[in-house]
């Protein structure tokens, strides 16, 4: 089968033929239709310090996908050939304390699809039945392909009650924008999104942000005053991984405020614990999705009218992977999707 792989410990990826995956008992064989490009994939392609410390070539990349089930192994009971599915990319042990307690997203032995084992940038991928999510309602294939990052956004946005609250989102990357849209859909009074990219701030506005703020040009305190906020934000989502963004969130929270942190910093971050303590703030780390509470919430949100399709700004055929990765790395985009059913998709002239 064709696959997009990291064959050697150097920058770049290779589209070529690899062996078909072998399906075992309790596993599902899936024909891949669409995949989303994640920041993790960009790190692996660039072969940066993180990738060098984690990845063992050869490896087929990819963990954001939608596909059609073509076969199931022995013991599979709830998934059948022909089902349209996405996949939970965190493969867990099922035996540790958290797995046994039903908290699989906290498994201490989690391995990543397309990171620690061959992934979905290929004609076919194999997953345990327990990691397969069957789409029971009609859904656009491109949207289904990004259920993984949409899950990160929903997990973050619903970590704390947001109805009637003033919400701050620091970082207007695709996950931050989807989290903002989710919070607004869930009844937040206001959703203020901050970033430095005019392109992504405009995308945040398009997706329903009440206010989108370029913090290099505008003071967040002025925005709060204009929005009739006297005591600070009630809830914040830190999505950027930037120390200044976390500091800004902490300094603008109302007493008792709650901050969900998804952004991964590249370096150590100093936290103003005095403010955290004296304002009695709650800081919560977010990683991945709750299995499968978040997935259920995603489907219900879409069924009840949340539209995340504008976050998908670029689509390419699988032979255009170099151009697709360049666009994804540029930052002037939302989510970038690869179509594994066609080699090339004509691109609009800028």
Active-site residues: which are they?
A: 40, 43
Question: Tokens 């009074």 map to which residue?
Answer: 189
Name the residue with tokens 């930037």: 242
| Peptide bond preceding 58 in cis form (omega within 30 of 0) | yes
Q: Which of 112, 156, 115 is nearest to 131 (CA)?
A: 112
Assigned token pair, 141: 């294939």
Find tokens 């994939």 and name the residue: 41
> The tokens of 247 are what?
């500091």
Q: Report the binding-site residues.
A: 38, 63-64, 93, 96, 99, 107, 175, 195, 200, 262-264, 286-287
DSSP state of 309: G
Question: What would the two tokens of residue 333 be?
Answer: 């985009």
- Assess whether the previous peptide bond of 115 is cis (omega < 30° from 0): no
Residue 108 in contact with residue 114, Cβ under 8 Å? Answer: no
Residues linked to residue 32 through DSSP beta bridges, in sequence order: 67
Binding residues for Zn(2+): 38, 63-64, 93, 96, 99, 107
* 224-243 b/e (C-beta count within 10 Å ≥ 16 → b): beeeebeebbbbbbbbbbbe
**Tokens for 292?**
């499968």
Annotated binding site for NAD(+): 175, 195, 200, 262-264, 286-287
Contact call for residues 308 and 337 (beta carbons, < 8 A): no
What are the tokens at 160?
């704390």
* DSSP secondary structure of 239-290: -S--HHHHHHHHHTEEEEEEEEE-PPPSS-----HHHHHHTT-EEEE--S--
């Amino acid at each position: 089968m064709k696959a997009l792989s990291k064959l050697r410990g150097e920058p770049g990826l290779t589209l070529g033929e690899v062996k078909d995956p072998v399906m075992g008992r309790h596993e599902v064989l899936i024909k891949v239709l669409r995949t989303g490009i994640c920041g993790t994939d960009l790190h692996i392609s660039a072969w940066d310090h993180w990738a060098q410390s984690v990845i063992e070539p050869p490896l087929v990349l990819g963990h954001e996908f939608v596909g059609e089930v073509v076969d199931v192994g022995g013991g599979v009971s709830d998934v059948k050939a022909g089902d349209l599915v996405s996949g939970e990319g965190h493969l867990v042990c099922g035996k540790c304390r958290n797995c046994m307690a039903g908290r699989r997203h906290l498994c201490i032995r989690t391995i990543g699809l397309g990171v620690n084992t061959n992934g979905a940038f290929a004609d076919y991928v194999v997953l345990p039945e327990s990691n397969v999510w069957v789409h029971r309602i009609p859904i656009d294939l491109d949207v289904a392909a990004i259920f993984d990052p949409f899950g990160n956004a929903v997990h973050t946005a619903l970590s704390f009650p947001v109805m009637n609250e003033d919400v701050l989102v620091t970082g207007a990357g695709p996950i931050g924008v989807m989290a903002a849209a989710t919070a607004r859909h869930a009844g937040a009074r206001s959703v203020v999104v901050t970033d430095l990219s005019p392109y992504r701030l405009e995308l945040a506005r398009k997706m329903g942000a009440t206010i989108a703020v370029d913090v290099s040009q505008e003071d967040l305190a002025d925005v709060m005053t204009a929005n009739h906020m006297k005591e600070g934000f009630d809830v914040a989502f830190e999505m950027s991984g930037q120390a200044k963004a976390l500091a800004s969130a902490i300094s603008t929270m109302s007493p008792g405020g709650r901050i969900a942190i998804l952004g991964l910093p590249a370096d150590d971050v100093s936290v103003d614990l005095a403010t955290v303590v004296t304002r009695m703030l709650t800081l919560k780390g977010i990683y991945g999705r709750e299995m499968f509470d978040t997935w259920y919430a995603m489907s219900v949100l879409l069924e009840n009218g949340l539209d995340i399709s504008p976050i998908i700004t670029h689509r390419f055929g699988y032979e255009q992977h170099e151009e697709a990765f360049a666009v994804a790395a540029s930052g002037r985009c939302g989510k970038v999707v690869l179509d594994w059913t066609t080699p090339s998709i004509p691109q609009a002239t800028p």
